[in-house]
Amino acid sequence: MTTRYEQLEKLHAADPADADITYMIAMEHTKLDGDPGDDPGGASSSDPAAVIDWLNKTLDLDPNYLYAYFQKAKAQSEQGHDPLAKATLQLGIQKAKSALDSKAVSELSELHQSME
């Protein structure tokens, strides 16, 4: 039986320029459901470094992928890198304002304020 992560790896191999796929792979690395069969590499806990790596790939492909800024900042904060997380959020807020996405501005700003 193929796991969701394995399916995403195949999709990524077929289309490495698809930012949605790199984002979904990043989110697979955040799983904490305790089922090693569902987690990337058989792990049963979150891997913030892998999350950040895949989100960086997402943002390289699409610098306006606003959800990636939010998730990247959360992962950076988990690693104890709040100054980096705040910088990531500030960039995301700028991108969201440019895109006129008030919901993203609000969510990114709320997370930024929670790190004060």
Whether 58 contacts 65, CB under 8 Å: yes
Distance CA 28, CA 14 (A): 18
Whether the per-residue pLDDT at 103 is higher than 70: the answer is yes
Q: What pLDDT is attached to residue 31?
A: 79
pTM for the model stands at 0.85
Where b means 16+ CB within 10 Å and e means fewer, 57-88 reads: bbbebeeebbbbbbbbbbbbbeeebeebbbeb
**Tens digits of per-residue pLDDT, 66-77?**
999 999 999 999
CATH superfamily of 4-114: Tetratricopeptide repeat domain (1.25.40.10)
Domain boundaries, the chain: 4-114
**Tens digits of per-residue pLDDT, 22-45?**
999 999 998 744 444 444 554 445
Whether the per-residue pLDDT at 1 is higher than 90: the answer is no
